[in-house]
Amino acid sequence: MRLSFEQLDMIKEKMGVDKLWSFSKVGTYDQCSWLYKLKYIDKLRVKGDNCYTWWGSVAHEIIQDWYEGKYPEYGQMLEELEKKVIEYSMLDDKKLKFPSDKEWENYIANLRHYFSHVETIPFKVTNEQAVLAVFEGLEKYVFQGYIDSEYIDEDDCLVILDYKTSSMSGFTGKKLIEKARQLMIYAIGISQHGRMIDGEMRKFPLDKIKIRYDMMKYCNITFMQKNGKPKTTKAERKLWVAHIANPLRKDLEDVPKNIEKLEKEIAKLEKKMNMKKTTPEDAEGYSVACGEIALEIEALKPYVFDPIQINEMIEKATVLNDLSVFPPFVQEKYTVGNCHIDVEMTDEVIEEFKRELVDTLDTIITKTAEEDKEEAFNRSRIENSDSYYCVNLCDLKDHCQFYKEFKEHNEMFITKQNQPSEQDLLAMLGLV
């Protein structure tokens, strides 16, 4: 539920502050101090989405609608996605185009797989609940935001779930902690103010709150290894079968070996059966076991394939991106689940995060109070190595002097690169 302006004003009054902070505001500063100036000091706004925000909103809406019971059947999620694909194809907006057709095809293939295979969370899920978090620094900082989805899990923990349609890069190690700042603010907020669950206000200390990402573009593939331990590997959804091509090949190549092993087991049991010391009861037991193993062998025999057949099956399965061409024992071995990434919030992590956050907020308000804002929010030039955000994601790049310089510099470089070398020039003029 989104709060109205009046409700937000009421919160400000109640909390004794004149403004509310959002994660995106402080996140913008962390991303680029100049962008912060353009957005929050100069108040420049660019209307409209880019392709990632447009599709991100679509994906959020579909999964949240599913949890809110707006679709009578699971299959309707995919239908809704397909409706959006049609709507998107009819939009004539340059800003909504993907950088390349290939990127668009990959993106939508992953979403199609997600909305036809996503595992439904088996708990009551609520969406877009408002949350407040308070931090003390040079001022009292009150954050207000909304949580994509939340639920109480089997450990009686409150799970904060955030849907991501982006790539998984940066969602590991120290970078993951950086990525999780927004969710940590929400977790701290819930630990401060509690949560209304089914009409009852409940307290959740931080160790009873989990923060989790649902990486929609990816899935977890789980299978049992030879050592009896399950293994889980992450893969892009549209490529999940290709990702396990090697273990699949091994499953099929191992069939003759497995038959041989079973035959040896039968031989062993028969030997035991014929020993003098074997009692008639034991012999009966061995005979039953032999019969069962013989059945297993018979069941495996139709699945002895030559290398060419195996290659063909793997190729076909990779194109279909499912296991339907494989024998049942292969199909049953692999399960595809949601790709969740959990962030571990230790006391040290939280304390360090709070310190850094308050430092950043203190810096922002100090800079905002300075006379010369250009100087206060200045940044270094854009380098190729850190240009991805500027080129692909910054909605104010067309208003940015640093981006202008970066483009001019690169164009100059390209022009220089296109110039013929001295040797080529002499050759062109017939002087060598």
From the number of C-beta atoms within 10 Å of its C-beta (0-12, 13-18, 19+), residue 231 rates as exposed
Record the tokens describing residue 68, joined without a space. 């809110």
Query: Is residue 403 within the footprint of ligand SF4 (CB under 6 A)?
Result: yes
Among 60, 179, 181, 397, binds ligand SF4 (CB under 6 A): 397
Query: Is residue 111 within the footprint of ligand SF4 (CB under 6 A)?
Result: no
CB of 383 to ligand SF4, least distance (A): 11
> In whole angstroms, what is the distance from residue 123 CA to residue 118 CA?
15
Record the tokens describing residue 190, joined without a space. 């819930």
Q: How many residues bind ligand SF4 (CB under 6 A)?
A: 13
Applying CB under 6 A, which part among 30-38, 139-147, 280-288, 320-328 lies near ligand SF4? 30-38
Return the number of the residue (74 or 389) whose C-beta is nearest ligand SF4: 389
SS3 147: strand
Query: Is residue 330 within the footprint of ligand SF4 (CB under 6 A)?
Result: no
> In whole angstroms, what is the distance from residue 233 CA to residue 248 CA?
14
CB of 394 to ligand SF4, least distance (A): 3
Record the tokens describing residue 315, joined without a space. 């190729």
Amino acid, res. 245: A
Binding characters for ligand SF4, 351-390, by CB under 6 A (x = yes): -------------------------------x------xx
Query: Is residue 396 within the footprint of ligand SF4 (CB under 6 A)?
Result: yes
Query: Is residue 394 within the footprint of ligand SF4 (CB under 6 A)?
Result: yes
CB of 239 to ligand SF4, least distance (A): 31
CB of 31 to ligand SF4, least distance (A): 6
CB 52 within 8 Å of CB 165: yes
Nearest to 20 by CA among 11, 29, 28: 11
* Long-range CB pairs of 286-292, under 8 A, 24+ apart, other chains included: 290/266
Among 20, 32, 118, 187, binds ligand SF4 (CB under 6 A): 32
CB of 27 to ligand SF4, least distance (A): 12
Return the number of the residue (29 or 151) whose C-beta is nearest ligand SF4: 29
CB of 97 to ligand SF4, least distance (A): 19
For 378-392, b/e burial (b = at least 16 CB within 10 A) is: eeeebeeeeeeebee
> In whole angstroms, what is the distance from residue 139 CA to residue 144 CA?
16
Query: Is residue 29 within the footprint of ligand SF4 (CB under 6 A)?
Result: no
Q: What is the 3-state secondary structure (H, E, C) of 355-409?
A: HHHHHHHHHHHHHHHCCCHHHHCCCCCCCHHHCHHHHHHCCCHHHCHHHHHHHHH
> In whole angstroms, what is the distance from residue 209 CA to residue 202 CA?
12
Return the number of the residue (34 or 240) whose C-beta is nearest ligand SF4: 34
Nearest to 33 by CA among 377, 386, 389, 405: 377
Return the number of the residue (34 or 67) whose C-beta is nearest ligand SF4: 34
Return the number of the residue (125 or 396) whose C-beta is nearest ligand SF4: 396
Among 23, 34, 240, 353, binds ligand SF4 (CB under 6 A): 34
Binding characters for ligand SF4, 214-253, by CB under 6 A (x = yes): ----------------------------------------
Record the tokens describing residue 114, joined without a space. 């997600």
CB of 24 to ligand SF4, least distance (A): 14
Return the number of the residue (150 or 395) whose C-beta is nearest ligand SF4: 395
Among 20, 26, 38, 313, binds ligand SF4 (CB under 6 A): 38
Query: Is residue 36 within the footprint of ligand SF4 (CB under 6 A)?
Result: no
Applying CB under 6 A, which part among 29-37, 240-248, 342-350, 361-369 lies near ligand SF4? 29-37
C-alpha pair distances (Å), 277 with each of 220, 265, 271, 413 = 52, 19, 12, 89
CB of 389 to ligand SF4, least distance (A): 5
DSSP tag of 21: B
C-alpha pair distances (Å), 419 with each of 195, 407, 415, 425 = 65, 18, 7, 9
Binding site for ligand SF4 (CB under 6 A): 32, 34-35, 38, 382, 389-390, 394, 396-397, 400, 402-403
